[in-house]
Amino acid sequence: MTKRRSAMIFVLFLAAFSLFGCARREAERDLQNGVDAFQQQRWSDAAAFLTLAEEKRPGQVPVLMLRGICWLKLARYTEAAGDFDRVLTFQPENNEARKGRGEAYLGLNRYAEAAEDFSRALTLEPDDVNTRNNRGFALSSLGDFDAALADFNAALEIEPENPLIYYNRSAVRRRSGQTAEALEDLNRCVELDGENALFLAARGKITAELGDLDAAMADFNSATSKNPDYFGGFKFRAEGHKSLGRWQEAYDDYSRAIELEPNDPELWFGRAAAAMQLGREEDYDRDMARYDELAR
């Protein structure tokens, strides 16, 4: 969370407490419980208490803002967009609500609307790195790679040691055919945060595409070691094992990835291929049936 967002939340706390100074004791308790849960990052509990407070005094901006942030944390993007949208009906120039709604739109894959919200927010805060990074992601998802790269470059001018921006820029560079430049960005990511399995797995994926499978497997091994709950590390390492003809190792890694991300059709297809090579016909039939179901 950025310093600016933290300061905004502190202001919301103060405003929220002022709302119910003359309200019923029950409403005050709901609000207090909601704020306490929010501060402890118990997002589901906070949202539930804030909902009770909202029901007793509808339309209070600080309560809607805090609950919207909870919904973002819980990846309940429809509810988050709804809360921020209500705030903007009361306060059309509320930039924090506009940025929050943009983040919710990102989660809903509504990239054009997200980019519009971020653009309007940047007219008021042009040096907001997080918003510029978010707009770059939205624009890249819309296929506007040049504009996305401009946003990422501008963000890195302001905050040159932010690994997430390098990661997002690497994805755009890779999709633009700038593989060497994408690898440079991922090297920088790992330099800045060598514990992040996402960065390691992504670098390994590009390194494998460039033909250095030993280096790629080293990255995949590091990714799975540092975060055994990140499915991508196992998925990419399984692909590496497959390239090396290590079918049992590939099967095992696909299995672990499926445990973590059971709705990715590529995982079921990959494990089916490994099962075929291992002569496990029943496993092959099972996995292909699941792949066909997910890929419809």
pLDDT, position 71:
98
pLDDT, position 29:
87
Measuring CA to CA, how many Å separate 207 from each of 159, 178, 215, 258?
A: 26, 13, 7, 24
Structural domains for the chain: 1-108 (1.25.40.10), 114-193 (1.25.40.10)
CA 139 to CA 116: how far, in whole Å? 10
Backbone phi and psi for residue 264, each to the nearest 5 degrees, phi listed first: -90, 110
Question: For a pLDDT cut of 90, what percent of the chain falls above it?
Answer: 87
**Per residue of the chain (296 residues), what is the pLDDT tens digit?**
455 565 566 556 556 655 555 456 777 788 889 999 999 999 999 999 999 999 988 888 999 999 999 999 999 999 999 999 999 999 999 999 999 999 999 999 999 999 999 999 999 999 999 999 999 999 999 999 999 999 999 999 999 999 999 999 999 999 999 999 999 999 999 999 999 999 999 999 999 999 999 999 999 999 999 999 999 999 999 999 999 999 999 999 999 999 999 999 999 999 999 999 999 999 999 999 999 999 98
Which residue in 75, 115, 68 sits closest to 94, CA to CA? 68
Tokens linked to 112? 């054009």
pTM: predicted TM-score of the whole model, two decimal places: 0.84
pLDDT, position 296:
87
CA atoms within 13 A on the CB side of 124: 12
Q: By the 8 A CB rule, do 9 and 72 touch? A: no
Which residue in 243, 236, 250 sits closest to 278, CA to CA? 250
pLDDT, position 57:
85
Residue with tokens 């792949």: 291
pLDDT, position 22:
46
Measuring CA to CA, how many Å separate 254 from each of 85, 200, 261, 285?
A: 41, 18, 10, 16
pLDDT, position 1:
47
